[in-house]
Structure 1
Amino acid sequence: MHLHDFWFLLIAVLWIGYFFLEGFDFGIGILTRTLARGTVERRVLINTIGPVWDGNEVWLLTAGGATFAAFPDWYATLFSGFYIPLLVILVCLIVRGVAFEYRAKRTGERWQRNWELAIFWTSLLPAFLWGVAFANIVHGVAIDREKNYVGGLGDLLNPYALLGGLVTLVLFTFHGAVFAALKTVGDIRERARAQALGLGLATAVLALVFLVWTQAHRGDAWSLTALVIAVAALLGALAANQLGREGWAFALSGLTIVAAVGMLFLSLYPDVMPSTLDPAYSLTAANSASSPYTLKVMTVVAAVFTPIVLLYQGWTYWVFRRRIGVQHIPAAQPAAEH
């Protein structure tokens, strides 16, 4: 295996880790409007991800930084061609982080309601747009001989990409509902399981169409194996959810994301951004990579720091593993008079 192949694999792992972790983050944000009944239950849902949401975004920063360093041509073409949707995602992530921090700074109902709406929309939009972006990467975009994207914004909103956006939106919401059932107690836990059933069935229909479409367009035996795993894991997650085995349901919904995103990267390789104008213009892991020396230095750094990050994040999840419910939310204090 060449180092550029290793870094393609590592970047795939980073994106898979990001979608696995941030997926239920986005799902919880969406569920604050569709599952929670009232301010207290919204606080319960937000508190389930309160200690971990910012750590989950480290995976995105690492994936973006690794792409920039290991595959500068891929990074340049991707971020220039997908500038508007990626800018919208970036703004959403900034506003979302502010909303988590500022929501509880004041006790006014309007203040908290507005920040809760911000959490909802800034979870929903990235969950959809990430699917659109990755579907376009796999499907191929208009790249010329100079490695520049020459299409427009409308070209990115094709039926395949929009379907990909719907799949990630519903899949992440399902993942969030399973996580909510795992992390809560009482009535909200039961409603989370009920909502997970409907979301899981919708995910099964949309994801099967999208993954079969992907397999027919660019698939091989490896991607077909990942497709079968994704479908089996999703069905297993639904069964575990119905049996009240929330731990297994969450593990299997996570495996669904791992297998589905893994299938996209398997379908993509050895390309990193196929060209719809001419296959010879496609960006590949070989022609868009940095120098071997750069990749060698990056490999040493990754070997040292990746285990540290994994251990720290695993410890964080262990410390905050307890379930919570409305009884754990303190009563709101009246606003101070001025």
Structure 2
Amino acid sequence: MNLQYKWIALLVTSLGTLGGVLNGSTLIIALPTMMRALNTTLIGVMAPLIVYMLITTITAPFWGRLADLHGRKRLYLIGLVLFTLGSFLCGLSVDIVQLTGFRVVQALGGSILIANSVIIITDAFPLGELGRANGILSMIMAAAFVVGPILGGVLTLVDWRLNFFFNLPIGLAALYLGARHLREPTLPRRSAARFDYAGMGLFTIAVVSLLAYVGIGFIPGFLSPAMLAILAIFLVSLALLIRRETRIADPLIDLSLFRIRIVRYGQLSAFLNSIARGAVMILLILYFQGVRGLDPLTASILIAPLA
């Protein structure tokens, strides 16, 4: 039974991860079509993407910590419900305001899935097989990044809303399997542990202020008084966050992990790679479909090597 369970746990978490990754890589292809269909601007159509990334970044540490305190299975199933429901509502949106609002629901679910997938796998697999399990999960993510843009091109040719409705069978299948087969691991009681609300607040302020400075700083100017004030807020909140997280017993983010060289450089590499690839992909999609007038499928095939 243990042998069977670990693979079921990997299947459930892989489905959740697959839905989250495909949701991002397919939707990028649909941006020009969505901009025309929803009668909005480039900044407007970027709002659902930014909101999703912002919420998943801010709340992921919260959900991971909450799972430590109150259990993985229950929280993971809630994440699947929110992600699937959010996808359905996004597909029904009639304007960019509705779409952005429903993306909040989807992002809350997606952040729960991101924060708990690896945790569930770690609980299910013995230490000697953990590398293999994480390797399979990483392989699925890599395949989704490659297939996602082409799939998004095909779906967008039919209807851009299919990029959201496509998540429904994946989410429902994962929800059924998870509710039926996932288990709560036996963990040591941590009744004395407290959630780091102050750290969560400082982390939120730091992320929002950094995104505001980088994302809209070009409008008034990066050296304008308003933008310099936002930059100062980021630096102060980051310094306070680091100071707090290194001094309390139960931190929101265990910064001691960054003393490990492979963790430190691995996270830095992933961060820089995401910045470079994400920016170039969006620019190429807008160029191919806007300037060159190519259809979504052709544009997706052209950017597939970058994915």
Which of the five TM-score ranges fits, normalised by the shorter chain? Answer: 0.3 to 0.5
TM-score (norm 2): 0.33
TM-score (norm 1): 0.31
